[in-house]
Structures are given as structure tokens and as C-alpha cells.
Amino acid sequence: MQKDENEFWYPDEPADTEPTRKKTSANTAKRRNASRKRRKKRKKMNGHAVFFLVLALIFILTILRLLIWNIGKRSDYDPNEQTDEFDVELLDYVQPLDPALLQGREDDGVTTVLALGNDPLADQTGSGGLVALMEQKTGAVIRNAAFPNSTISMKNPEFQSDYPLDGVSLYLLCAALCNQNFELMDVVATQLGGETALAALDTLKNTDMQKVDALVLFYDLQDYKDRRTVYDENNAKNLNTVFGALSASIQLMQETYPHVRIFLLSPTYGTFTDADGKTVDADRDDLGNGTLTDYINWQLEASRSNGITFIDTYYGAVTLEDGDCLTDGFHLNDKGRERVANRFADVFPHASK
């Protein structure tokens, strides 16, 4: 076959050059795609690895913290240590007397105190009694006019002869002092009988209130024990309630003897046996008007609202852990009286005339 003179021929160049180039390009693209897939796979693998690494670190740290917490810290607590410090916040409320109320009053140099209340003051009236201890620790002269088994509140709306204890409830005692009329007291003391009641009446009659610098009120859990109402929302001066009788008595004394500083001591802790033979725990048992702490809180409120000083002996002197300070459940023994006297002395010098 004769060649065309115008046809060019290149003997070194393969005839299928263009297909080969296409094939090479395809292979290169496949390699690139495979490389991308491997990189993506490596990225995915690295992300999972980081996640599990972080999770492992968190787990290890949690275990370490639990081990450290279980080991704890060394405590300096000594169960045999004796301390006079209290673990609870005391409910004391100290209210100074307005100096203006003492203007023109001549100081006789003697701090004279009149004490009204019931058994804590009346159980022991000798040298080992609470009043004697309070005198020793404060340097004051304290006149004791406490009636055994008496209460802050009245049981009946009006005095009835078949319940003479109402005649020596707090408000009627204050009324007798302010009016200087002791006719009812004469009758009641005779009905009650006993040397302590007669001695208390004699103290009331022979106390010159113009020479008295302070009035101390100290009643035990008798109002709680007798299931007296604590507060009447319709009558803040209801004498059949603890708050009402306290408020009315305080205000009457402040109006009549404004120079007299008033101190109210809370009841201490105690227990007793009720008519059914059940032991009543004053800290836990609600007899219809709250536990004893509810009564104490209302006494504190009466103190604050009327501007007198409140001394906490429930948490501050004889607590539910101090059964060795009590006789018959709630009567103070020598140790209990010592604690209450110390508690009183802690506050009294800071509120002197």
C-alpha cells in the first residue's frame, strides 16, 4: 500500500495515546479518593479515642476523690472533753433600760431585786437555794416572793375560790403590788397553806417597790404541764394565755414602776408523768398547744414586744441532756440551781441599773 505523501507518521508514539491518558487520570482519582477516605477514617478514629480518653480521666478522678473523701480529715474532737460552751445559739434578748426612766432617782448603792415565780425559786429557800446562789454571783439583794405550783397564766377567766392558785398567778401578783392591795393574797395564801406561800406573801407586803431596781420572773414548765393556751390572736392580753398574761403583767409594772428593770428567765428542760401514767417529754410532746419550746418562743416574743430582757435557761443552763440537774423530772437539784444561777449572772451584770 502506497503512503500518501501528505500524511505524517510518528513511529515512536503509540497509536492509543489518548485512551492511556484517560486510564492514568482515572487511577490517580481513585488513589486520591482512597487517600481521602483513609484520612477521614483516621480523623474519626482520633475523635473516638479522645472521647474515651476524657471519659477514662473523669472516671479516675472520681475514684480518687471518693478515696480521699473516705479517708477524711483528722478530727480534734475528744468525747471525754468537758466544756461549758454551748452547741446551740442561745435565745437571750438583752434590752437596756432607758436612762431617762432613772432621771431624778437617787441611787442608794444597793441593787435590790424582787423575784416572782414558782418552784425553781420556791423549792429551796435556804443558803443552797437558787435565790441565795443568784445573790452570791451578782452581789444583788434578792427578795423571794415565789409561790409553789403557781403559773404565769390563769386557769379561769376570773378568780374562783375553788382554784386558789389563780390568785397567785403572775398578773394578780403584779396587780397586788401595783395597787398595794393584798386582801386577795391573804385569802389565797391561807388556802394554799405551807410556810413557803406565807413567806412569799410576807415578802410582797414588805417590799418597797420604790427601792427595787429589778424584777425577776422565773417559772418552770407548769403552764405547759397544765395545757394552758399559749396565745390568743383575738386578744393579746388574754390572762388565760401565757403570752397575754406576760404582756399584761409587764405593761402594768412598767406603767406603775417605770424605773424597775424586768428580767424573764425561760423554763429549763423537764419531763413529768401525766394522769395516765405516761412520761411526757417537754421537748417532743405537744399537749395541745405546742411543745415547751413553743411556750418559750412566745415568752421570748412577749419580752421583745414589751422591751424586757429574756434569759434562756432551756438551751443555756439545763437542757434535755442534763437529766442529772433535775429531780422528779423537772425540779432543779443543787447542780441545776448552780447552772441557772450562773446563767443569770452571765446576763444580769450587763443589764444593771
187-216 in b/e burial notation, b at 16+ Cβ within 10 A?
A: ebbeebeeebbebbbebbeeeebeebbbbb
Q: In this predicted structure, what is the pLDDT of residue 41?
A: 54
Rg of the chain over Cα atoms, rounded to whole angstroms, equals 43
Q: Residue length, the chain? A: 353
3-state secondary structure of 19: helix
Q: What does the mean pLDDT of the chain come to?
A: 86
pLDDT for 8: 44
The pLDDT value given to residue 62:
81
Cα four-point dihedral sign 18, 24, 26, 29: negative
- Please name which of 298, 305, 313, 302 lies closest in space to residue 347, comparing C-alpha atoms: 313
What confidence category does residue 69 fall into, taking pLDDT thresholds of 50, 70 and 90? low
Residue 72: all three cell numbers together: 477524711
CA–centroid distance for 146 within its chain? 28
- Provide the H-helix boundaries in the chain: 17-71, 119-122, 130-138, 170-179, 183-192, 195-205, 222-225, 242-256, 292-306, 334-347
Instruction: Cell numbers for 24, please give them.
Output: 492514568
Distance CA 30, CA 158 (A): 112
C-alpha cell read off for 61: 478522678
pLDDT, tens only, 166-216: 999 999 999 999 999 999 999 999 999 889 999 999 999 999 999 999 999
pLDDT at 29 > cutoff 90:
no
Q: Is the pLDDT of residue 115 over 90?
A: yes
User: Confidence band (pLDDT; 50, 70, 90) for 66?
Assistant: confident
- Nearest 5°: phi and psi at 263? -120, 130
Query: According to the model, what pLDDT value does residue 351 have?
Result: 42
Give 121-154 pLDDT, tens digit per residue. 999 988 899 999 999 999 999 999 999 999 999 9
Quickly state the pLDDT bin for 54 (edges 50, 70, 90): confident
| Residue 231 φ then ψ, to 5° | -150, 140
